[in-house]
Amino acid sequence: MRVPFTRPYYTGNEIVYMAEAMNNKKISGDGEFTKKVNTIIEQKYGAYKALFVTSGSAALDMAAILLDLQEGDEVIVPSYTFVSTANSIILRGAKPVFAEVNPNTMNVEPLDIQKKITSKTKAIWPVHYAGVGCDMDKIMEIANENDVWVVEDAAQGVNAKYKDKYLGTIGHIGCYSYHDTKNYTCGEGGHILINDPRLAERAEIVLEKGTDRKKFFRGEIDKYSWVDIGTSFLGSELLAAFLLAQLEQANQIQNRREYIFNKYYNAFKELEMNGIIKRPYIPEESNVNYHMFYIMLENKEHRNFLMKKLKDKGINSVFHYMPLHSSEMGVKMGYSANDLPITEEYAHRLLRMPLFVDMTDEEINYVIDKMMQISEDM
């Protein structure tokens, strides 16, 4: 048997809605389906304003523009994240200041954020790893005390909560991704969530290439013109139509992912008791979306051994991010591997297991059985 790491899931209505969008003769964006997916995010999740964009990276780029990041500004981010988180900061001329993770969750550690606040700090960008919420109470407390912005990189956190709030709606801005590796997908796409009303009007302008076009369409002005910077962030109607089918079944999709997660979690209890692996830790205040199931091995060598043995059995398990601070780009910025030893260590111990919605019980049990067999040699 061969088990891929992931496989996109289709509800069946994607093609129906996309055909409807084509029949509407409106596929360029900001049509019926764009409005529907924006409304879902605003009404279900509680965002003040949600804008559908071309990707999670685009949402981060928009956030950087809205906060007027510029040369001399610093933004505190975890090093253990995808490159888009840092790229959005660098593209505006600002500097990402990398912070340590909490090894229990791989989320940014508030105590290290506090240490790295300076007079140049303009924002904190927490990343909700694996759909597990960062310690947002503490992060917002630090932000408020130092008068800095908070942008939640919730690319992996759609439909997950921290306490009673959905991830992406707690900071001033939230960013979602619908890449085909995410729980809810349209291939490429994202949302920027504007939670601070002060940013809402400008967000519409930046979305529309720096024009006040939305005001024109609402009849608030008699013509639109170029009033600010911006670019083509707006996602197409075809992508929004595809996404609508996914969001309509968000809870069913999450329930299936939870089932697979729990099968792994319960099956691997013995391996954790024997000190071979460590299972994911979910804080009490987190209501997760089961974006991934990862395990921690004792060291990099054990991680690589297990990954190879699983591959030999046809199972595609993968590690995740290489820490940004020790990457080629990070070194150019003056960082080194010694700067964040916790991030460096745990990034090399982490291994992600296959988890996707239409994963069959046969595939799940095959992965578990092979894991148990291989563990006897570890």
3 state DSSP class of 221:
coil
Return d(Cα 17, Cα 76) in angstroms, integer. 40
Q: Residue 326 falls within a domain, yes or no?
A: yes
Neighbours of 43 (CB within 10 A): 10
Is residue 52 within 8 Å of residue 234, measured between CB atoms?
A: yes
> Hunting for tokens 């707690």 — which residue is that?
170
Neighbours of 297 (CB within 10 A): 21
What pLDDT does residue 327 have? 95
DSSP secondary structure, 135-147, as one string: -HHHHHHHHHHHT
Give the end of a domain, one of 224, 248, 272. 248
Q: Residue 339 falls within a domain, yes or no?
A: yes
Q: Residue 270 falls within a domain, yes or no?
A: yes
Domain of 25? Answer: 14-248
59 and 207, same domain (yes or no): yes
What pLDDT does residue 158 have? 98
237 and 326, same domain (yes or no): no
75 and 224, same domain (yes or no): yes
300 is catalytic: no
Strand ranges for 135-187 from DSSP E: 149-153, 161-162, 165-166, 173-177
Q: Which of 138, 59, 146, 140 is nearest to 105 (CA)?
A: 138
What pLDDT does residue 318 have? 97
208 and 344, same domain (yes or no): no
Domain count, the chain: 2
Specify which residues 353 forms β-bridges with: 293
Give the end of a domain, one of 248, 264, 290. 248
321 and 176, same domain (yes or no): no
Give the end of a domain, one of 218, 248, 278. 248
List the CATH number of the domain containing 294: 3.90.1150.10
> Hunting for tokens 């559908």 — which residue is that?
52
3 state DSSP class of 171:
coil
203 and 268, same domain (yes or no): no
Token duo for residue 192:
């920027």
138 and 264, same domain (yes or no): no
211 and 282, same domain (yes or no): no
Specify which residues 174 forms β-bridges with: 152, 193
105 and 241, same domain (yes or no): yes
Q: Residue 210 falls within a domain, yes or no?
A: yes
Q: Residue 57 falls within a domain, yes or no?
A: yes
Out of 182, 278, 309, 370, pick the active-site residue. Answer: 182
Encode the chain (378 residues) as per-residue pLDDT tens digits. 999 999 999 999 999 999 999 999 999 999 999 999 999 999 999 999 999 999 999 999 999 999 999 999 999 999 999 999 999 999 999 999 999 999 999 999 999 999 999 999 999 999 999 999 999 999 999 999 999 999 999 999 999 999 999 999 999 999 999 999 999 999 999 999 999 999 999 999 999 999 998 898 888 999 999 999 999 999 999 999 999 999 999 999 999 999 999 999 999 999 999 999 999 999 999 999 999 999 999 999 999 999 999 999 999 999 999 999 999 999 999 999 899 999 999 999 999 999 999 999 999 999 999 999 999 988
89 and 171, same domain (yes or no): yes
Q: Residue 351 falls within a domain, yes or no?
A: yes
Q: Residue 38 falls within a domain, yes or no?
A: yes
Token duo for residue 288:
């997760």
Q: Residue 49 falls within a domain, yes or no?
A: yes
What pLDDT does residue 378 have? 82
177 and 278, same domain (yes or no): no
Return d(Cα 136, Cα 288) in angstroms, integer. 14
Return d(Cα 365, Cα 360) in angstroms, integer. 9
Who contacts 302 (Cβ-Cβ below 8 Å, separation ≥6)?
Answer: 349, 378
List the CATH number of the domain containing 115: 3.40.640.10
Question: Structure pTM?
Answer: 0.97
Return d(Cα 179, Cα 356) in angstroms, integer. 14
Q: Which of 356, 247, 255 is nearest to 6 (CA)?
A: 356
3 state DSSP class of 34:
helix
172 and 314, same domain (yes or no): no
